[in-house]
C-alpha cells in the first residue's frame, strides 16, 4: 500500500496549460518554473538512490500541492533494480513514447539515465507551459528523428543556459547525461542568478489566478452547497477545450502499446 498526500492543485501539466488558456490569465514567475524543476529533480534523485526507475516521468505525473511544491507521482511503470543498473522490458505495455530515451525506444533498455532523458522533456514541458513535446511528430516517426540527431527545440522565452541543461539530458550516450543530484544543483545555480522573489509574492501571483478562475467556474455551475470550498478548479472550460485542439491530440495521449 502506498499512501500519498492530497495535492490540492492537481497535476502540473494542467496547471501549466491553465497559465496560457482560460478567461483569467495567470502569471507564473520564471523563478517558480525553476523551483518546479528543482523539486522534481530532488524527488527523482531520492527515487534513483533507492534503486527505482520511474519510466513515466512527465508533467502530467507531477502533482502541485497547496504550498506550490511539486511532488513526483504515478509509479505504475516504475521498477526496482536489483542485481543490475538497468531494466529491459519484454512484455507489450503502453509506454509514453515522446518522453522515452532513445535507448529505451531502440533497445527496450531503461536506466536512471533514461529517467534523466524524461526529466529533460519534462523541463521542456514546464518552460513551454504544458505544450506537447515534438508537435506534429507522430509516435512512430520519433525514433528515426532521434537517431538522426534531432532534439526538441528551445521553447519561446527559454533561457539559453536552461536549454543547455535540457540538451545535456538528451545526450545519445546515457553515461554522458548528468545525474539528478547534479541537475538539481545546476538548476539551483540558475535560480540564484535571478532576482529573489518573496515567497508571499510568488504565492500571490499564482493563487490570485487560481481564485479568479474559481470564481468564473462558480458563476458557470450551480452550487448545491453554498458553503462548499472550490478545489482544483483552476482548469476552466476554455482550458479543458484546449486539450481537444490539434496541439494536444496524441496517439492514446502520448502512450503507445509497445514492448519498449
**pLDDT > 70: percent of the chain:** 65
Confidence of residue 248 (pLDDT cuts 50, 70, 90): very low
| Per-residue model confidence (pLDDT) at position 60 | 92
Identify the pLDDT of residue 126: 96
Distance CA 95, CA 114 (A): 13
C-alpha cell recorded at residue 103: 535507448
Comparing 225 with 254, which gets the higher pLDDT? 254
d(CA 209, CA 205): 7
CATH architecture of 12-208+233-258: Orthogonal Bundle (1.10)
pLDDT at residue 242 tops 70: no
Q: What is the pLDDT of residue 26?
A: 75
What is the C-alpha to C-alpha distance for residues 1 and 66, in angstroms, rounded to an integer?
24
Secondary structure letter of residue 11 according to DSSP: B
Whether residue 40 has pLDDT greater than 70? yes
The pTM assigned to this predicted structure is: 0.76
pLDDT in tens, 111-129: 899 999 999 999 999 999 9
Most confidently predicted of 5-9, 87-91, 105-109, 162-166: 162-166
pLDDT of residue 222: 40
Phi, then psi, of 254 in degrees rounded to 5: 95, -5
Q: Is 142 helix (H, G, I), strand (E, B) or coil?
A: helix
Active site residue 56: yes
Q: What angle in degrees, to the nearest 10, is found between the helix axes of 30-49 and 112-127?
A: 170
pLDDT tens digits for range 123-155: 999 999 999 999 999 988 999 999 999 999 999
Catalytic residue among 39, 56, 115, 171: 56
Percent of the chain with pLDDT over 90: 42
Query: Can you tell me the distance from the alpha carbon of 170 to that of 101, in angstroms, rounded to the nearest whole number?
Result: 7
Most confident of 19-23, 182-186, 216-220: 182-186
Residue 81 pLDDT grade (very low, low, confident, very high; cuts 50, 70, 90) = low
Grade residue 186 by pLDDT with cuts at 50, 70 and 90.
very high
Q: Which of 193, 53, 64, 44 is nearest to 120 (CA)?
A: 44
Amino acid at each position: 500500500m502506498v499512501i500519498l498526500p492530497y495535492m490540492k492543485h492537481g497535476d502540473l501539466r494542467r496547471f501549466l496549460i491553465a497559465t496560457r488558456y482560460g478567461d483569467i490569465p495567470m502569471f507564473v514567475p520564471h523563478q517558480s518554473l525553476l523551483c518546479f524543476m528543482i523539486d522534481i529533480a530532488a524527488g527523482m534523485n531520492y527515487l534513483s538512490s533507492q534503486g527505482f526507475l520511474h519510466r513515466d516521468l512527465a508533467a502530467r505525473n507531477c502533482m502541485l500541492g497547496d504550498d506550490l511544491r511539486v511532488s513526483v507521482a504515478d509509479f505504475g511503470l516504475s521498477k526496482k533494480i536489483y542485481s543490475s543498473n538497468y531494466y529491459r522490458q519484454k512484455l507489450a505495455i503502453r509506454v509514453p513514447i515522446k518522453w522515452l530515451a532513445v535507448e529505451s525506444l531502440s533497445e527496450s533498455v531503461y536506466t536512471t539515465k533514461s529517467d534523466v532523458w524524461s526529466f529533460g522533456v519534462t523541463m521542456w514541458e514546464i518552460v513551454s507551459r504544458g505544450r506537447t513535446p515534438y508537435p506534429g511528430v507522430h509516435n512512430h516517426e520519433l525514433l528515426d528523428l532521434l537517431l538522426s540527431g534531432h532534439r526538441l527545440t528551445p521553447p519561446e522565452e527559454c533561457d539559453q543556459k536552461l536549454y543547455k541543461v535540457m540538451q545535456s539530458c538528451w545526450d545519445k550516450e546515457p553515461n554522458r547525461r548528468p545525474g539528478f543530484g547534479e541537475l538539481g544543483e545546476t538548476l539551483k545555480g540558475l535560480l540564484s542568478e535571478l532576482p529573489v522573489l518573496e515567497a508571499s509574492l510568488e504565492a500571490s501571483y499564482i493563487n490570485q489566478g487560481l481564485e479568479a478562475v474559481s470564481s468564473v467556474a462558480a458563476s458557470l455551475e450551480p452550487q448545491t452547497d453554498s458553503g462548499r470550498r472550490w478545489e482544483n478548479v483552476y482548469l476552466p472550460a476554455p482550458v479543458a477545450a484546449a486539450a481537444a485542439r490539434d496541439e494536444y491530440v496524441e496517439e492514446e495521449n502520448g502512450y503507445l502499446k509497445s514492448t519498449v
